[in-house]
Structure 1
Amino acid sequence: MKPALPLPLRKAWILAIAALLASPAMARDEAVPLVHDTGQPGALLLAGEGHALPILTDPHDAEVVRRAAADLAQDIATVSGVKPVVRSGGPRGGNAVVIGTLGHNRAIDGLVARGRLSVSGLAGAWESFVIATVDRPWPGVDQALVIVGSDRRGTAYGAYELARAIGVSPWAWWADLPPRHRDALWLDAGLHRFGPPSVKYRGIFLNDEDWGLYPWAAQTYDPAYGNIGPRTYQRVFELMLRLKANTLWPAMHKTTRAFNADPANARLADSYGIVMGSSHAEAMLRNNVGEWKDDPARFNYATNRAGVRAYWDERARINAGYESLWTVGLRGLHDTGMVGAPTMAARQALLDQAIADQRAILDAHVPGGAARAGQIFVPYKEVLDIYRAGIHVPDNVTIVWPDDNFGYIRQFPSPAEAARSGGAGVYYHLSYLGYPLAYLWLYTTPPALVQEEMLRAYDAGARQLWMVNVGDIKPAEIGISHFLDLAWDVERWRGTSQHAYLAQWLGAAFGPQAGEAGADLLDAHFRLNMVRRPDHLEWPAHEEDRHLSSLTPAQVDARLGEMRRIAAHAEQVGQGLPADRRDAWFELVGFPLGAAAAANVRFFAAERFDEQVEVDPAAARSAEGAVAQAEADIAALTQRYNTGIAGGKWRGIMPAEPADSQWRIYRPRPVVTPAPLLRSSPQAFFQRVDSAPPARPDGLAPPREAAGWRWIDGIGPRGGALMAQAPGATMAFTLDRTAPGAAALDILPLFAQGDARSLHLAVALDDGPPQDIVVPRQVGDAAWVAGVLDNRLRLPLPFVLPAGHHRLRVVAQGSGIGVIALVDTSQP
């Protein structure tokens, strides 16, 4: 054991720490390591030299605290080789780790009462915690590590934060990232404070689980249960706490047994301190597709108010004692529109009545009634139009604003909406099944886009709930981490580029060198897939034109060549990693890049065949060979994911898209694999794409610096976009044209803030007058469809650009203006 500091220095240290803790602005710099391999003066040895400090909890504390303590003990054992004893009760002599919640742990409360531990600013805080060393806390104890939370989740987060500090990734189990062995674990002396979080409720939505999470749970992870049940949810809940999340919308498709149909699920959630909610389509914690047993036509609040209300009342009566976020409102049985109200006025009246009745149910059953129960209202799809038309959402109900299902938030709270006691939140998608085309397969939403949209929402006051649709969890691990990291501490990540976040995340998992390489690879992956996601490789056919996509043959060759190169590089980096990191690298980097490249080859090689079969049959047959090779590559990658890594742990989690014929109108048409006699060796096709020069940028990029604008790396198909920070901001393109011609401005398909339903900007040539461009933004129309599939809106300029040297000015006249490029449209 390292010698303690001299008494005068210890007193000065304690006073300094107490003063720091009293300041609500004090927070630990999480980039500074908390645990070291060697001890410094005053440091505390947690584990090493053949022993580990016991971990103490109080029997009167919450169950989640005991769960977190047990997990921490196992983590310490995994890292150090020595497992701490976990026991309930106070210190018995000797150094110890004490984990407890303020007001619920007698040993910790005694330290506070005696002035040995200052908790100024912690009492009453939301989900906050302190990790502190205390000298001579009790008779016979030289030193103790105290993890104290302001509430039960704060305490659990503290235990899992220490686990992360010793080298245990939150994704250790879910992404096969085993921690490295360390001979000794020394904790820095002092006090470290965390929280409160930037966003109060931070959660994930398990959705569209038919193709991954459900078959994996039912057949591989929990075949005895045969469904997504308590054993699977236990893994989900632990992951959530390690990521400092607190809210779950459970899986809800027809294949899955309704979460609350098994009482063990709700009890388990409560034991982990997880706040349970339900999606926008499932009012009052009811999973309609699994729990409504009556005739589906009777799920109609206009004609069967008593029956539907009794159905809601039953759930409130059973779940009243749990911490929940009750979804209020009204939609159809399975994510469909409201029935029984043919006019807008009727919809408004029915929705107002439903919310009033739901709150009366809460008054009858939930402690504190509707005045205290957590409630959310999600104006999703057509419900947003009803909200805009005018309904009464009670002040303490959180309005959760949705994105358009493709990562672009449809509406942001006004100052008045944000100031309501219920506040505002966001429902966001990293995975989606629906119109116009789903994306269920690979993780392709750029973190830069997520960060930009969520910061816009946060700055507008959406700070009560952030919920993200994550599909099957895998393969969106990095995206989930990023979203929840932002929700926990917005200011820590504000200004951090996509590349920097990826390098930090992957560096923690694989080391700095692999982290930088992985960040480069994923940056390119996100840029290429913003042009078109692998799930969106389908274009409407042009009349009398067999070239079905909007890309030229040269652009296709360059795209495929780059995708194949980054996939090959990812495989090379993975093979160079230590054996215990290769599976994780494949899951997180190798598979998504390899599958995306193969999917693109499959589609564009089939397109090449259609183009060339009558003009160059030999090239066409080689392209068909490439189609077959790509199909085989996808099958091999999928089999490797499901059975070839982690000892077959993930069997069933990863289907190749399209996996089946369900919901076929929202999924790309399968590419037909050619018969053997119709294809030849793909070598000629691959030689052409692999030797293709890099793609020439499509248009002129905006300047990286302009007053009133901010450059964002990683967003947009060109790898960056210039975002206007306020109306009136002006930027300019410098042009040198050899001939006059038409041009267009590419902007991101964002939505304006406030009540605006259109994007407003103006363009001016040289010193000429600005000419307005108004871009209506209506979800569901043709422009929106093109925008979410292309991840851009192409706006023709209202004049021809002349030859010579000129300056094109762009003025943002409203919010939501993100400029990607100026594109020459003179040539087809």
Structure 2
Amino acid sequence: MLRTLLFLTCLLAGAANAAPLVHAAPALGDFALATRAGAARIVYSSSDAAVVGHAARDLAADIERVTGQRPALGSAAEGAPAVLVGTLGTSAVADALAASGKVDVAKLRGAWESFVIATVEHPLPGVPRALAIIGSDPRGTAYGVYELSQAIGVSPWYWWADVAPAHKDALYVAAGTRRFGPPSVKYRGIFINDEDWGLQQWAARTLEPGHGGIGPKTYEKMFELLLRLKANTLWPAMHPGTPPFNSFPENARLANEYAIVMGSSHAEPMLRNNVGEWKDDPHAYNYQTNRDGVLKYWEDRVAANGRYENIYTIGMRGIHDSAMQGPKSDSERARLLENIFDDQRALLAKYVNRHPEQVPQVFVPYKEVLGQYRNGLKVPDDVTVMWTDDNFGYLRNFTTPAERARAGGFGVYYHLSYLGAPLSYIWLSTTPPALVWEEMTRAYDTGAQRIWIANVGDLKPAEIDTEFFLRLAWDVKQWNAQDLPRFLVEWAAREFGPEHAHEIAAIMDDYHRLNFDRRPEHLQWWLPKQPPRRSTLGDEEASKRLQAFRQLRERVEALQAKIAERSQDAWFELVAYPVTASALANERFFEGERGNQAAALAADARLDKLTAWYNDGLAGGKWRHIMSQEPADRQWPSLRLSKWTMPSYPPRAETPPAPRLVIEAAQFDCQRAGAAASWEVIPGLGHGEQGAVALAPASSMPVSAAHIAVDAARLDYHVKLPFVGDLPLEVHLIPTHGDGATLRLAVAIDDGAPQVLTLPVNDGRPDWAQGVLDNERVVKMSLSIHTVGEHTISVYGTDPGVVIDRIVLDGAAVRVASRGSR
């Protein structure tokens, strides 16, 4: 813990030393954005895109939130210092600054979603000074405005998480020019999904009951959030009971105003919400038997929405995330899909662009469709193929070198929330940012750079993961493995101030690590329709887990009194509720297993009270009906854990656990780089405190069995063994998919010949299911020991994508050296 705190403190100091864009005291050449005397006028052109006006008005409101001074807005500077906001080609002011050379826009022309923020002397006749925010396109301009908002202290989550900015009497923008963009990933966004128990209930009963659920009020706030997070794409909510996005025409109009690119999920081709919009017999949603009816259904939507900026999902699955009806074999499905592609692209040519290859399209080989793609399904070359994860954060497929020339490129559809087998996780957001980083950077490095979409469930309480995913998509190189913890430090400093940022970051790091052992939604060790059974944790393991959660909860409670009053609502939403709720869920479950009825029932009652406060007391009732403990009801019972009750089985008769030596993979004594890759520690990933270890670069090629000893990257662990004979050894892996079929590495002792270990992924099978619930897969072997004493166990990285968490040896083994040089 001390090492973590020291590391985070150093990161915070480094962040603080970076030159800020905005500060409270003036320096030579700085631009006075706001002082006690007033705020600079914000100037933008009515001829610019609507999103620029939205951003400019939001900036005025943000400056007032921070300083109490409300800037005037207009289309003329009127001779005073001003903030000049505009898009090249559509703003006369931006074009004038570019033509005069006052602002260097050479790198902006033709760029995607890029912008500059620059202080300018005498920008226009009669205007002594200005701050120019110029975008290469309307979204770039808007991103520039919101970049300034964040720099003055306004969180992107000011509304969605009630993050109140600290008051400042004055705001000065540092002199000079700063350039941003283009983004790493062209299209970046989120998918609102499985919203039945949170966002839909809150919208229908609190925010906009007149619309019966998620509608224009909700989406307008969501569009603004996406822009503040430099995102540009939305797949809208689509579950039964939620109003379809296009049931309110103003939704698409608002998306256009905010320059948000609308798309739809893998199961909703051509912007159609099938569960809410297909009114015919469900069996008629069959292209094989009802081509004309289905095609007309798609055509109506493309005709209505073709004038807007969209990404069209092509292909076809069942109405609600099920397999396509009609064909009986994969070869028949593939042939029909190829015909469907042709028909859908003909609609795009008719209503959007007569050159359909210029219309953004995606094909998502999700679940059973991935097998069809792997077996030769022909997708038009200009269409973006979106890989998917296994719904638990581990990508099923990566782009091969032979595929990377594809004109449409590749993307990723990634889950931060999931309703499905083997058990859902739709309550608390517990995916470690480090896992997102490991999987998504590997996807990016191997070619998935066109579109990233994260399934964020109800959005709340997934604020941290949502922001991390989108920031990574904006600039995939802003964090490397070594400084990955910087994200949580900077996030905590922005939301709650720098004084406690290192401790808040450490709390959230421990929160993610403890819940990586077992998510709160997975606190049962049986699957639906199976009889209840005990967890695999012994009493000692359960006691350690409970103690860790209790200490984490106590740290939150101790820090709460030190958090500013204005930040108390945000503190509860972003830190106190997820940490305390997960701690109480564990206390309820494990105390119940041990037969401690009073303690278990007390934890259950406290969890109910905590959730009730979220819904009824927090922020004056703003979030009423947003938060539901899992399971909130009996819907989808085959996919969700059972409602907690005191277990009826008797307490376990404990047997002393067999002694074992557990070595965290990151605690190696030395390492040797391979011919094309080396090991790197990923802090924040895995079950231990030191992090997991993976091969870098992710795009490196596998090492053949004949060349492992010479060419593979190697980790050495020194141990002392008091016996000769066979040594049982386990390598615990993060359950990535490796090459999609196997996880492969090699182990040797004392420079002996490496033994190749191959673990089948078995995607979708019981061992995979257990792996994603445990967040680990275990491969076992035996090493032959011929002498008593000190030995070196070596682990070789043969395949990129294999991530090592722990090495476990028979308890007679001991370490003889601490982690040393690398």
> Structures share a fold, TM > 0.5?
yes
Q: What residue identity is the alignment partner of 2:629?
A: A
Query: In the alignment, which residue of structure 2 is the partner of 1:658?
Result: 631
Q: Does the Cα contact within 8 Å between 1:52 and 1:84 map onto a contact in 2?
A: yes
Q: Counterparts of 1:107 and 1:368 in 2: how far apart (Å)?
A: 35
Query: In the alignment, which residue of structure 2 is the partner of 1:747?
Result: 733
Alignment partner of 2:32 out of 45, 58, 61: 45
Query: In the alignment, which residue of structure 2 is the partner of 1:806?
Result: 791
Superposed displacement of residue 364, structure 1: 1.0
Mark the runs of 5 or more structure 2 residues left unpaired by the alignment. 1-14, 653-657, 673-677, 704-711, 813-822
Q: What residue identity is the alignment partner of 2:138?
A: R
Superposed displacement of residue 724, structure 1: 2.3
Q: Does the Cα contact within 8 Å between 2:481 and 2:683 map onto a contact in 1?
A: no
Superposed displacement of residue 673, structure 1: 4.4
Q: Does 1:333 align with 2:319?
A: yes
Alignment partner of 2:620 out of 647, 652, 662: 647
Query: In the alignment, which residue of structure 2 is the partner of 1:503?
Result: 489
Alignment partner of 1:757 out of 741, 752, 763: 741
Q: What residue identity is the alignment partner of 1:178?
A: A
1:39-62, CA deviations, whole angstroms, 9 ceiling, x for partnerless residues?
111212111132211111111110
Q: Does the Cα contact within 8 Å between 1:90 and 1:107 map onto a contact in 2?
A: no
Q: Does 1:774 align with 2:758?
A: yes
Q: Counterparts of 2:201 and 2:385 in 1: how far apart (Å)?
A: 34
Q: Counterparts of 1:400 and 1:30 in 2: how far apart (Å)?
A: 39
Q: Counterparts of 1:431 and 1:30 in 2: how far apart (Å)?
A: 36
Q: What residue identity is the alignment partner of 2:683?
A: D
Superposed displacement of residue 496, structure 1: 5.0
The structure-2 alpha-carbon separation of the partners of 1:222 and 1:58, relative to structure 1 and needing over 3 Å to count, comes to same
Q: Counterparts of 1:462 and 1:66 in 2: how far apart (Å)?
A: 33
1:536-589, CA deviations, whole angstroms, 9 ceiling, x for partnerless residues?
112149xxx997111111000010011011012112211221111122111111
Query: In the alignment, which residue of structure 1 is the partner of 2:686?
Result: 716
SS state at 2:210 partner = coil
Query: In the alignment, which residue of structure 1 is the partner of 2:4?
Result: none
Q: Counterparts of 2:354 and 2:18 in 1: how far apart (Å)?
A: 41
Q: Which moved more, 1:377-386 or 1:512-521?
A: 512-521
Q: Counterparts of 1:137 and 1:433 in 2: how far apart (Å)?
A: 55
SS state at 1:464 partner = strand
Q: Counterparts of 2:65 and 2:801 in 1: how far apart (Å)?
A: 48
Superposed displacement of residue 29, structure 1: 12
What does residue range 173-572 of structure 1 map to in structure 2 within 5 Å? 173-495=159-481, 497-540=483-526, 548-572=534-558
Q: Counterparts of 2:538 and 2:52 in 1: how far apart (Å)?
A: 59
Query: In the alignment, which residue of structure 2 is the partner of 1:614?
Result: none
1:328-386, CA deviations, whole angstroms, 9 ceiling, x for partnerless residues?
11110001111211111111111111111111111111034412110001111111000
Query: In the alignment, which residue of structure 2 is the partner of 1:699?
Result: 662
Q: Does 1:79 align with 2:63?
A: no
Q: Does the Cα contact within 8 Å between 1:711 and 1:721 map onto a contact in 2?
A: yes
Q: What residue identity is the alignment partner of 1:649?
A: K
Q: Does the Cα contact within 8 Å between 1:759 and 1:815 map onto a contact in 2?
A: no
Q: What residue identity is the alignment partner of 2:575?
A: V
The structure-2 alpha-carbon separation of the partners of 1:660 and 1:497, relative to structure 1 and needing over 3 Å to count, comes to farther
SS state at 1:769 partner = coil
Alignment partner of 1:164 out of 150, 155, 177: 150
SS state at 1:339 partner = coil
Query: In the alignment, which residue of structure 1 is the partner of 2:54?
Result: 67
The structure-2 alpha-carbon separation of the partners of 1:357 and 1:547, relative to structure 1 and needing over 3 Å to count, comes to closer
Mark the runs of 5 or more structure 1 residues left unpaired by the alignment. 1-27, 610-622, 680-684, 686-694
Alignment partner of 1:56 out of 22, 43, 64: 43
Alignment partner of 2:771 out of 787, 793, 806: 787
Q: Counterparts of 1:737 and 1:285 in 2: how far apart (Å)?
A: 63
Q: What residue identity is the alignment partner of 2:800?
A: S
The structure-2 alpha-carbon separation of the partners of 1:249 and 1:463, relative to structure 1 and needing over 3 Å to count, comes to same
SS state at 2:478 partner = helix
The structure-2 alpha-carbon separation of the partners of 1:592 and 1:495, relative to structure 1 and needing over 3 Å to count, comes to same
Equivalent pairs counted in the alignment come to 766
1:54-98, CA deviations, whole angstroms, 9 ceiling, x for partnerless residues?
1111111100000100100111111111111111x3332222111
Q: Which moved more, 1:587-596 or 1:89-98?
A: 89-98
Q: Counterparts of 1:114 and 1:723 in 2: how far apart (Å)?
A: 51
Q: Counterparts of 2:542 and 2:507 in 1: how far apart (Å)?
A: 19
Query: In the alignment, which residue of structure 2 is the partner of 1:3?
Result: none
Q: Does the Cα contact within 8 Å between 1:133 and 1:144 map onto a contact in 2?
A: yes
Query: In the alignment, which residue of structure 2 is the partner of 1:618?
Result: none
Q: RMSD between aligned alpha carbons? A: 2.3
1:654-680, CA deviations, whole angstroms, 9 ceiling, x for partnerless residues?
1111111111111111221489xx99x
Q: Does the Cα contact within 8 Å between 1:321 and 1:367 map onto a contact in 2?
A: no
Q: What residue identity is the alignment partner of 2:713?
A: A
Q: Does the Cα contact within 8 Å between 2:39 and 2:70 map onto a contact in 1?
A: yes
Query: In the alignment, which residue of structure 1 is the partner of 2:113?
Result: 127
Q: Counterparts of 2:557 and 2:191 in 1: how far apart (Å)?
A: 31
Query: In the alignment, which residue of structure 2 is the partner of 1:144?
Result: 130
TM-score between the two structures when normalised by the length of structure 2: 0.90
Percent identical: 48
The structure-2 alpha-carbon separation of the partners of 1:551 and 1:115, relative to structure 1 and needing over 3 Å to count, comes to same
Q: Counterparts of 1:142 and 1:417 in 2: how far apart (Å)?
A: 54
Q: Counterparts of 2:319 and 2:774 in 1: how far apart (Å)?
A: 32
TM-score between the two structures when normalised by the length of structure 1: 0.89
Q: Which moved more, 1:491-500 or 1:644-653?
A: 491-500
1:211-242, CA deviations, whole angstroms, 9 ceiling, x for partnerless residues?
11001111111122221000000110000000
Q: Counterparts of 1:332 and 1:548 in 2: how far apart (Å)?
A: 37
SS state at 1:347 partner = helix
SS state at 2:224 partner = helix
Superposed displacement of residue 495, structure 1: 3.3
Q: Counterparts of 2:21 and 2:321 in 1: how far apart (Å)?
A: 46
Superposed displacement of residue 799, structure 1: 4.2
Q: What residue identity is the alignment partner of 1:716?
A: G
1:415-470, CA deviations, whole angstroms, 9 ceiling, x for partnerless residues?
33332221111111110000100000111100011101111011111111111010
Superposed displacement of residue 503, structure 1: 1.3
Query: In the alignment, which residue of structure 2 is the partner of 1:730?
Result: 714
Q: What residue identity is the alignment partner of 1:666?
A: L
Query: In the alignment, which residue of structure 1 is the partner of 2:804?
Result: 819
Q: Does the Cα contact within 8 Å between 1:170 and 1:239 map onto a contact in 2?
A: yes
Q: What residue identity is the alignment partner of 1:731?
A: L
1:771-791, CA deviations, whole angstroms, 9 ceiling, x for partnerless residues?
222112232112211110111
Query: In the alignment, which residue of structure 2 is the partner of 1:628?
Result: 601
Alignment partner of 2:644 out of 662, 668, 671: 671
Superposed displacement of residue 189, structure 1: 1.8
1:272-300, CA deviations, whole angstroms, 9 ceiling, x for partnerless residues?
00000000110111000000000001111
1:499-545, CA deviations, whole angstroms, 9 ceiling, x for partnerless residues?
3211111012112232111111111111111111111112149xxx9
Superposed displacement of residue 187, structure 1: 1.4
The structure-2 alpha-carbon separation of the partners of 1:496 and 1:648, relative to structure 1 and needing over 3 Å to count, comes to farther
Alignment partner of 1:35 out of 22, 35, 39: 22
Q: Does the Cα contact within 8 Å between 1:166 and 1:185 map onto a contact in 2?
A: yes
Q: Does the Cα contact within 8 Å between 1:628 and 1:674 map onto a contact in 2?
A: no
Query: In the alignment, which residue of structure 2 is the partner of 1:12?
Result: none
Q: Which moved more, 1:480-489 or 1:89-98?
A: 89-98
Q: Counterparts of 1:823 and 1:670 in 2: how far apart (Å)?
A: 35
Q: Does the Cα contact within 8 Å between 1:247 and 1:274 map onto a contact in 2?
A: yes
